[in-house]
Amino acid sequence: MAEDVLKFIARELAELKEEGLYKDIYTLESPQGAWVTIKGEKVLNFCSNNYLGFAAHQDIKKAAKEAIDKLGVGPGAVRPIAGTMIVHDQLERELAEFKGVEAALVFQSGFNANLATIPALAGRGDTIISDELNHASIIDGSRLSRAQIKVYPHNDLQGLEKNLQEVEEGRKLIITDGVFSMDGDIAPLPGIVELAEKYGAMTLVDDAHGEGVLGRNGRGIVDHFGLHGRVDVEVGTFSKAFGVMGGCVAGTANLIEYLKQRSRPFTFSSALTVPDTAATLAAVRTLARSGELVEKLWSNADYFKKKIQVLGYDTGKSETPITPVMIGDAQTASHFSRRLLEEKIFAQAIGFPLVPRGKARIRVMISATHSKEDLDYALEKFERVGKELDLL
């Protein structure tokens, strides 16, 4: 009977709730922005990766609408069969220019970009050397590749070198997140690149949280460290600072040509929709024109981080606008988040498996859309709830 064979589902759901690891998924009744509406109430939004406010930006919405009028909505099928829409070509060209690489390729999501790229670069007999805190899409892409996977301690160059020394044959591919999404720290990319060059390894950096945030006008981690031409593959997403949906790979023209022939999500999954692609193109153009929003993002992040530390909170290793407010116990973090919502602050608790057990936190995502008054409002509520829960 279906009821019996599916019993484990109810049991596992109950366990998640008991452990405080059950994710409450809220419905937003407004566009993404500094304030959003949940259950009819306006709440201050600290949950979105909409770093620059592009998710509901006038020019970007306009670009999507105009593209729909001109080119319709859907891409028809996979690109090798149905063809590439002109807007994909434009985005790939301008994105490559923006990032200072020869070429770029658009995917349906950042997750898919990793699933596409990693197995195309490494396979049976090869070795992937991966930071222990890399994103789930890197882990899944690596598993799909059937290469041997070696995991090095987080951001530990000695650990990385030891792993590189142990590889005897096959291709070597080092993979790291650029900015780590749960802690907000930055990968030591110059050291990683040096080791890659020393041991003849390829490098792939997933810059999902670095694009629009790090580097000149948000050009990303490679630009931030001045490593142009020395990182083999940059994977990115359009769902965070670009405010839309989709993923990309940037690198040499040969790499992109190869991925068009060999990567499975490109060959077997339909292309990004027209409005998503046009909206992302408008986001890239907006950033190329001005770094103003990136500067606002950083000044907001610096302001909030300093003040919340003064209150007595630990923000871990964060070096970017991702600001974890460390709580520890998952139940307490969950309770904290619910209390914040009662105080009109939407800030999610993050627990296992997104972070190790015992390291639950409230992850505050700062945006350029927040005003100083918004941040002061939040600081006052964090202080009140922290005292109430004996955390301060």
Nearer to ligand PLP, 63 or 241 (CB): 241
Comparison of 137 and 286: residue with beta carbon closer to ligand PLP = 137
**Is the distance from CB of 205 to CB of 223 less than 8 angstroms?**
no
Nearest distance in Å: CB 203, ligand PLP: 15
* Nearer to ligand PLP (CB atom), residue 204 or residue 341: 204
Active-site residue (options: 57, 224, 240, 359) = 240
Contacting positions for ligand PLP (CB under 6 A):
109-111, 135, 137, 177, 181, 206, 208-209, 237, 239, 247
* β-bridge partners, 150: 129
Closer to ligand PLP by CB, 183 or 374: give it.
Answer: 183
CA nearest 250: which of 83, 100, 87? Answer: 100
Do 352 and 15 contact (CB within 8 A), yes or no? no
Question: Which residue, judged by CB position, is nearest to ligand PLP in the bound state?
Answer: 110
Q: Tell me if residue 181 is catalytic.
A: yes
Structural contact between residues 204 and 118, judged by C-beta atoms closer than 8 angstroms = yes
User: Do 193 and 231 meet the contact criterion of CB atoms below 8 Å apart?
Assistant: yes
Query: Least Å distance between CB 223 and ligand PLP?
Result: 17
**What separation in angstroms does the CA of 181 have from each of 135, 192, 196, 341?**
8, 19, 23, 22
- Residue 306 known to be catalytic: no
Cα separation values, 187 from 101, 150, 210, 225, 357, Å: 20, 17, 10, 10, 22
CB of 310 to ligand PLP, least distance (A): 29
CB of 238 to ligand PLP, least distance (A): 7
Neighbours of 353 (CB within 10 A): 8
CB of 109 or CB of 300, closer to ligand PLP: 109
**Active-site position among 209, 224, 359, 370:** 209
Active site residue 240: yes
Q: How far is the CB of 159 from ligand PLP (least distance, A)?
A: 20
Residues annotated as catalytic are 181, 209, 240
